[in-house]
Structure 1
Amino acid sequence: MTTEWEFDGSTGKITARTWPVEAPRYLAVLVHGYGEHIGRYEYVAATLNRHGATVYGLDHMGHGKSEGERVLIDDYEAVVADVHHVVQRARADRPGLPLVLIGHSMGGMIAARYAQHHGAELAALVLSGPVIGSWEQVTSMLEMPEIPFVPINVATLSRDPEIGRIYAEDPLVWHGPFKRELIAALDRCLKAINAGPKLGSLPTLWVHGAADELVPLEPSRAGVETIRGENFTERVYGEARHEVFNETNKDEVLGDVTAFIDRVL
């Protein structure tokens, strides 16, 4: 049974969630993307549950049910610290089990930065459509006197139109403009990741949609190549859009994720 819980995060109360199984083989921590919330990952969590994982996740500061001005993040190191709190909670709940960190989009950036700080504590890292390397279509807005409001085209999320409809109607999703402070913090985080260190021997899986217009494939590839270690696997899905975990071939994608985890374990 899914449980919600709170902790004192870097900037206020953070809402987190646990999807437990009775006798887990491993632990998985999910890290969500910009403007969304961990409640959008029920299908991913259920798949990982069936695979033998107890799953954890959190709503980042200013996102979902967590406190803070909406989508205002001025330091991603604080977000990494919040993720670390969830990782420590998972380890306290189930000592000794291997732990896999899975980050999507902006969450992929956060997960990559987490791995640079705490990679030795992880069994594996999965990056889904990660904002990594560069994200010029967003960071270029810093040069403008005012940040323009460019609403997300929900059709870029998935070939499944139902995903876009649910996203557009979700009151916990942010539907407004980017905040300048967040873009500046994101730019600093990308540069920090690019500066290293590399991921060394940490088993890493990168999954990405070939038709991703929100976080284009090639800039993300350049970022992944900058930090990847020697134990690296990639899967690029033709025609798939940004949210590969919500795509029409999501079971193929999640099958690749669970097969990768099996190889690591």
Structure 2
Amino acid sequence: MRNDVTVYEDLFYTKDGIHLRYRSWLPREPRTIVIFVHGAGEHIEKYVHIGEHLSREGHACTVYDLRGFGKSGGRRGHVSCFDEYLRDLEQLIDFFKRHLGRMPIFLAGHSLGGLIVTRYVQHKSKQVNGIILSAPALGFNLKIPSLAVRMVRFASYVAPSLSVNHRRLTNKIQEIPYFKHLFPEKVDPVLKDPLMCPVYSIRWVEELLKHAQKAVQHAADIVIPVLCLHGDEDPLISLDVVRAFFDNLAVQEKHWVLIRGAQHVLFHSEQLAAVDAVIHWLNKSVHRGASPSL
């Protein structure tokens, strides 16, 4: 299917005054709306090819910079609470419903974005028709000692704005032979990207860990269709945790895609296996007769 596509970029202002940069790809006659939530430290430019491919198949697509990332407002790599992400997403959903009319809405998210999407539908499932999770940040291959978790929790309340530069931390960890296998050999292009955010606050880390645990505990609360994708060589997010979460979903309309040879980043512009899986699933959802969300 081919469609004339309009692409535009703008700013959306949240109720607490933070501007969020977004970019939309709108086919002339869209069949669905897909709102894509990026991973930690990322930005819109990482997912331009997603918008291009989905829109060519008749699926309107919007990618936005999370608060504190990319060109959006807010303190870099910080949230006071995870609910800030959920409120931003809800406001964007309402915004696009008003501007694009009633049609099926799907949420998609990679890594941190997958966690945000998961937590959102565990509270507001009637707002959307289905979700697409790409290596959602539900558990990590690098086991974090319970003492370290307690220290992060304590520091989060004593000095919530204290930040950690993950570029420097990554370089230090990579020097330890035991951890070398957890990192790809070529990380420079990512680390040199000026729009990538290398800094995260202690509060952000604590909120991430807390909500990853909650998301797993409340897997059965998801009652809408789910597509979950994961790479079998992901060095960051635990395949076992994500698969267990998927198995515990109570919804019958769920589909698991394991991409062989893939690491954490599934949506490569050169490797389209994940994109093709998403398009196929969306097309099937339309054919099943997904109704406009409430």
Tell me whether 1:78 sits opposite 2:99 in the alignment: no
1:1-265 to structure 2, matched below 5 A, reads 1-10=7-16, 12-132=18-138, 134-135=139-140, 137=142, 140=145, 141-143=148-150, 149-151=168-170, 164-176=187-199, 178-196=200-218, 198-246=220-268, 250-265=271-286
1:196 partner letter: H
Tell me by how many angstroms 1:227 deviates.
3.9
Alignment partners' CA distance in 2, 1:157 and 1:45: 28
- 3-state DSSP class of the match of 1:45? helix
Tell me by how many angstroms 1:38 deviates.
2.1
- Deviations 1:93-122 (CA, angstroms, capped at 9, x unpaired): 121211111000010000001111221222
- 3-state DSSP class of the match of 1:150? helix
Check the 8 A contact 1:194/1:227 in 2, yes or no: no
- Deviations 1:190-245 (CA, angstroms, capped at 9, x unpaired): 23323426255411000000000011211222233344522110000111011111
Alignment partners' CA distance in 1, 2:253 and 2:183: 29
- Deviations 1:79-138 (CA, angstroms, capped at 9, x unpaired): 011011111111111212111110000100000011112212222210001112x33738
Aligned pair count reads: 259
Alignment partners' CA distance in 1, 2:133 and 2:86: 15
Alignment partners' CA distance in 1, 2:135 and 2:68: 22
Check the 8 A contact 1:31/1:38 in 2, yes or no: no
- 3-state DSSP class of the match of 2:228? strand
Tell me by how many angstroms 1:68 deviates.
1.6
Change in CA separation of 1:24 and 1:247 when aligned onto 2, cut-off 3 Å: closer
Change in CA separation of 1:200 and 1:6 when aligned onto 2, cut-off 3 Å: closer
Change in CA separation of 1:156 and 1:91 when aligned onto 2, cut-off 3 Å: farther
Alignment partners' CA distance in 2, 1:65 and 1:247: 21
Alignment partners' CA distance in 1, 2:25 and 2:133: 20
TM-score, normalised to structure 1, is 0.86
Q: Determine what percentage of the aligned residue pairs are the same residue.
A: 22
Tell me by how many angstroms 1:52 deviates.
0.6
Gaps of 5+ in 2: 1-6, 156-163, 175-180, 287-294
Alignment partners' CA distance in 2, 1:57 and 1:80: 15
Change in CA separation of 1:4 and 1:61 when aligned onto 2, cut-off 3 Å: same
Name segments (4+ residues, structure 1) moved above 4 Å: 138-141, 143-149, 155-159
Check the 8 A contact 2:107/2:131 in 1, yes or no: yes
Check the 8 A contact 2:34/2:62 in 1, yes or no: yes
Alignment partners' CA distance in 2, 1:114 and 1:13: 20
Gaps of 5+ in 1: none
Tell me by how many angstroms 1:13 deviates.
2.2
Tell me by how many angstroms 1:61 deviates.
1.4
Alignment partners' CA distance in 1, 2:258 and 2:136: 12
Alignment partners' CA distance in 1, 2:92 and 2:261: 34
Change in CA separation of 1:106 and 1:228 when aligned onto 2, cut-off 3 Å: farther
2:277 partner letter: D
2:35 partner letter: V
